[in-house]
Amino acid sequence: MASDLAVPDTAFDHQQQLLKNLARPAARSLGVYNAGLSAEVVQQKYGIARIAKLASNENPLGASPQVVAALEADAQLCAIYSDASSAALRKALAQDTGVDAGNIIIGNGSEDILHMLALAFLSPGDRVVTLIPSFGLHEIFPRMMGADVTMVGVNAQQQFDVEAWETALTTPAKMVIFSNPSNPVGCMLNREGFARIIDAAPQDCVLVIDEAYFEYCETDADYPDSLRVLAEQSRPWIVLRTFSKAYGLAGLRVGYGLASHPELVSLLDRVRTPFNINRSAQVAAVAALQDKQHVRDSIALVTREREIMQADLSALGFHVAPSYANFLFFDCGRPATELAAELLTCGVIIKPWRETGYEQWVRVSIGNEQDNRQFIDSLKRILAEDGA
């Protein structure tokens, strides 16, 4: 803000240009992550009491009551630094996953681990292969380091295009990264496809499998048991999971990575900030792991409500991609940003997609029954007004 100190416009502009020149070229040209709007902002701007926040794939049940109790019990200790090694949480995760604690890295959200991976491994010109449409940070963090990013599209049925992946992976790459199930599409790479992509990936790359939505399909017979498959490979890999979705801890920021080798964890430890996981996040995550019933209840709610929303959207004539996660991705038949703006005036926040070729697609999270009704009813009203 120049106004307070009354700096002349020319000096203000000069400084802006200077900063751009000082910045690393890769940072200067970086895209900005589309993080979406908060419920409070929309509430104030449109004066709407009830907001259906369906843009960030949060858990409509919230966190387990056991998590809330654990946070309350720890609140008095907020003057004390957190454990920089997250030892208790890594131990709990080792028990939960069967992976040695020494092979586990904790992040301030799994996005923090994506950031560490970029810092630790990528240099200008390195090649990264990922998916499109994609989780924005799979592209943004590699570009931040000056890497070249190859993006492999989904096929016409909005499924992983395994052949296209195999072709893309014939060229050397430093890192291969995709989410399974995918965000934003919701498609699942099955066992066979997973094995083929792993086989095709260069032996000397880092495989990053982002399983942010693991809990929503871990019991599906077609979902690859990535840890088992990858354990048979003597090559670098890391599987990322998070407490933000099925565990309902998005606001606390805690995710984890299960790595092929302690050296991978050690490399990530060097590039992270020392106290990246705050006390509350560590305490809450340990408590969350002890309440699996809450996770099962969350998944049951999402599965039930997803079917209803999928049917409602199809009945309205929209093409909806099949989803294995807690959101749906559909072609809304018009610029998605326009529909998103109209829905905002009804108190509904969704995520309009912005990647090339997907400007008419929106991603909507599965909320509770009331949120989902508000979304579908608002959508019907908008369509009716357009038709009138």
Length of the chain: 388
Interaction mask 247-286, ligand PLP, x per CB under 6 A: ---x----x-------------------------------
Question: Which DSSP state fits 81?
Answer: P
User: Which residues, numbered 32-51, are part of the site for ligand PLP (CB under 6 A)?
Assistant: none
What contacts 226, CB < 8 A, 6 or more positions away? 180, 194, 209, 211, 239
Which of 103, 110, 158, 298 is close enough to bind ligand PLP by CB under 6 A? 110
Q: How far is the CB of 255 from ligand PLP (least distance, A)?
A: 3
User: Which residues, numbered 202-241, are part of the site for ligand PLP (CB under 6 A)?
Assistant: 210, 212
Q: How far is the CB of 78 from ligand PLP (least distance, A)?
A: 21
Tokens of 296: 């099962």
Hey, is 350 helix, strand or coil? coil
Is the peptide bond between 184 and the residue preceding it cis, with omega within 30 degrees of 0? yes
3-state SS of the chain: helix, strand, coil percent to 5? 45, 15, 40
Interface with ligand PLP, residue 60, by CB under 6 A: no
Is the Cβ of residue 242 or residue 282 nearer to ligand PLP in the bound state?
Answer: 242
Interface with ligand PLP, residue 179, by CB under 6 A: yes
Is the Cβ of residue 127 or residue 241 nearer to ligand PLP in the bound state?
Answer: 241
Is the Cβ of residue 276 or residue 360 nearer to ligand PLP in the bound state?
Answer: 276
- Which residue's CB atom is positioned nearest to ligand PLP? 109
Q: Which stretch binds ligand PLP (CB under 6 A): 79-87, 104-112, 195-203, 368-376?
A: 104-112
Q: How far is the CB of 178 from ligand PLP (least distance, A)?
A: 9
Answer whether 144's CB lies under 8 Å from 27's CB: yes
* b/e map 129-161, b = 16+ CB within 10 Å: bbbbbbbbbbbbbbbbbbbebebbbbeeebbbb
Question: Which DSSP state fits 30?
Answer: P
> What is the binding site for ligand PLP (CB under 6 A)?
57, 109-111, 135, 179, 183, 210, 212, 242, 244, 250, 255
